[in-house]
Amino acid sequence: MLAWFKARHWRRLIILAGALALIVASGNWAAQHEMQSKTVALRQAAAAHVLGLRGLVEKHDFLPYAAARHPDVQTLLGTPQDVALQGRVNAYFADLQRTTGAAALFLIDRAGLTLAASNWQLPSSFVGQSYRQRPYFEDALHGRRGLFYGLGLTTGQSGLFIAEPVRVKGAILGVVVVKISLEPLQSAWMRGSDPVVLRDSHGIVFLSAVPEWLFHSIQPVPPADLRWISGHRQYGSRERFAVLPWRREPAGDAAGFVLHTTVQGQQRELFALDTPLPELGWTLTVTTDMKEVVQARQAALMLSALAVALLLLGILYWRLREKRFVEQRTARLELERRVEERTRDLEEAHTFRKAMEDSLLVGMRARDPAGTIIYVNPALCAMVGYAAEELLGRRPPYPYWHPDDLEKQARESDAVLQGRAAPQGFESRIRHKDGHDVITMVYTAPLVDAQGVHRGWMSSVVDITAQKQAEARQRDQELQLARSARLASVGEMASTLAHELNQPLMALSNFAVAARALAAQGVTDMLAGTLDEIVEQSRRASEIVKRVRVFINPQRAHHESLRMENVISHAALLLKPELQRHGVQLQLLLDDAAAPVRGDTVLLEQVLVNLIHNALQAMQGQPAHCRTITLSCQRAEQLLTISVADAGPGIPPEQREQIFAPFFTTKPDGLGLGLNICRTIIEAHGGAMTVENRAGGGAVFTFTLPVEA
């Protein structure tokens, strides 16, 4: 037996571990799937940004090459004192700058002095400025194409510089430089929701959608690189570059990485992807928010946890039901028969509705503005029983209009033709050609052709006859289920009623024996009092039987004006022996219990008896000094609020939504119908019932009743 219990314990642990593993795996799978989707999206975004950068560079790449071969440019390098020639070159550069959209073009001699520039007429003209320390100038003098991004020495504005050597008879006499501004690209990035960053070969960010990241590096810049940057004044007078506020971590199997950073003072978690641009010596970083990944993981975890919880609850419910079947064979067979009948009815109803849905065809009818039918589909013809030839060209009243609803349907038709059709549709009863009635829902929308001209009205007609019939059957089934639930609940309260009947019956027997002894002794003065007690105990037994009969058949309930203080006092009197037997104290706080309400005394007594009895059972494991039930009655405007509070363990949060559900119970031998029936009784009296946990421990059940005017 001990080995069996150990094996059972290990099976439960394995099942629990498997369930947790399944939940975690589903969350990881969802997050990984979302990461893969984001990786694809980032690659596409990176490709688009790279294409834009390369396109911008390639658009202006030919300018220095073409300008270096212009005769005036080459001649000016040989005769820099020629003012007229210098003016022509300046005008030529200005025209190229306006035509291509470049930031500037300028010509530098071998000494690094600017001879001509497109901005020669501006205060910030490059003419006369020396750019000998610029890397692009050094590369061009050595016969290589120069490419450099940095801040302008004259204007202080950033840009991409492309330099081309000017060769005359094979000798390099100077350098032509074009400056391209990347600020429009940065402005476009700033308008986006996800940050985009471009950094140079030293790891320094020189273009960013987040302004506070500019001129920061991804890691400390080596001293040698700092000396090179400072010597070439790549970023003006800046000599120190703070490290970016980034914390990177791998993204699992994804190609990118997860970036933890601060944007505009807010903490953000981004998924980032680096794309190198080797021909430019840059690295492009595109990002996207990780919020969708977190949401996908959370949703998967919640759904899988819910599925596992439902499965475990189903297994638990099955085990409890099997235990109940073993303990009460007869009750189990009866309940099984009812469940089978209910299951069969539900399956039949489900099969019928499924077949109806599978075979459902929506009727379509088009009418011109005057109401003439210009189109019908076969589904509408089958619905009304008329052929298309019998309907086309007809004007109201139509042959399928129900003879008893002609005026109503005429009003609805006029409203549709005047453009006042209800957007949620309207219900209409029509008469089939063979004489039977069909109930439909009609939805109408304007009929507009491809040119936007209003041609009439298009109506979709849905046959809801079967739905109406199914709803009626469903209501009948719910009434039958409610009666079955009330009958099942009688068994649950049988022990309490048997105890109550036993007391008056024993009292009847004792008083009868006493009366016979008094009669034999001829003591007539005490005989009358004994007979009165016999009558009172007989009446009490009759009331107990009456409660059972009324509870089984609520139609016998008798609603009358009553005061809850009387109902509460009688319920407390009924449960007094059981409360004393379990050492439980019932505390009554009846401030407004005298307010008049209308209801059935017996049913309201049963609600109180059930709630007090549940509170008594909830405190079985509590210390003796804590076993107190508080029953309070307070009035708020036109509502009387009655509360029953215990000092038990309370209701677990996961069970509060199900506590009133039929067949839900936490008792090993309970049917789970008592609280559901109590709430049904209170709602039948125009009130509501709720449950909450007390701050100091325990649960409190509260219901309201309307106060009579």
Q: Which residue has the tokens 């109902």?
A: 567
266-295 per-position pLDDT tens digit: 888 888 888 888 877 888 888 887 777 667
389-411 per-position pLDDT tens digit: 888 888 888 898 888 888 888 88
Question: How many whole angstroms separate alpha carbon 135 and alpha carbon 232?
Answer: 7
Classify 108 as helix, strand or coil.
strand
Q: In the predicted model, what is the mean pLDDT of the chain?
A: 81
The sign of the torsion formed by the CA atoms of 16, 17, 22, 25 equals: positive
Q: Which residue has the tokens 């009669």?
A: 519
DSSP 672: S
By CB atoms closer than 10 A (0-12, 13-18, 19+), residue 195 is buried
Q: Are 152 and 179 in contact (CB under 8 A)?
A: yes
H or E segment to which residue 301 belongs:
helix 291-327
**Helices vs. strands in the chain: H and E counts, helices first:** 17, 23
Confidence of residue 356 (pLDDT cuts 50, 70, 90): very low
336-355 per-position pLDDT tens digit: 888 888 888 877 776 764 45
pLDDT at residue 473, as a whole number: 83
pLDDT at residue 353, as a whole number: 47
519 pLDDT above the threshold of 80:
no
**pLDDT, mean of residues 219-243:** 83
Question: How many whole angstroms separate alpha carbon 160 and alpha carbon 436?
Answer: 83
Confidence of residue 485 (pLDDT cuts 50, 70, 90): low
374-383 per-position pLDDT tens digit: 899 998 898 8
Q: Are 174 and 110 in contact (CB under 8 A)?
A: yes
DSSP 626: G
Question: How many whole angstroms separate alpha carbon 270 and alpha carbon 257?
Answer: 8
pLDDT at residue 487, as a whole number: 58
How many degrees, rounded to 5, is the angle at CA 270 between CA 241 and CA 250? 85
Give, rounded to a whole angstrom, the gap between the first and last alpha carbons of the chain: 66
> Has this prediction a pTM greater than 0.85?
no
Q: Are 365 and 445 in contact (CB under 8 A)?
A: no
Strands 257-263 and 247-250: antiparallel
By CB atoms closer than 10 A (0-12, 13-18, 19+), residue 22 is middle
Classify 181 as helix, strand or coil.
coil
All structural domains of the chain: 58-291 (3.30.450.20), 358-461 (3.30.450.20), 470-550 (1.10.287), 558-706 (3.30.565.10)
549 pLDDT above the threshold of 70:
no
**pLDDT, mean of residues 181-201:** 83
**pLDDT, mean of residues 554-579:** 80
Strands 585-590 and 628-636: parallel
Strands 585-590 and 426-431: unpaired
Tokens representing 316 are 């638990």
Question: How many whole angstroms separate alpha carbon 625 and alpha carbon 611?
Answer: 21
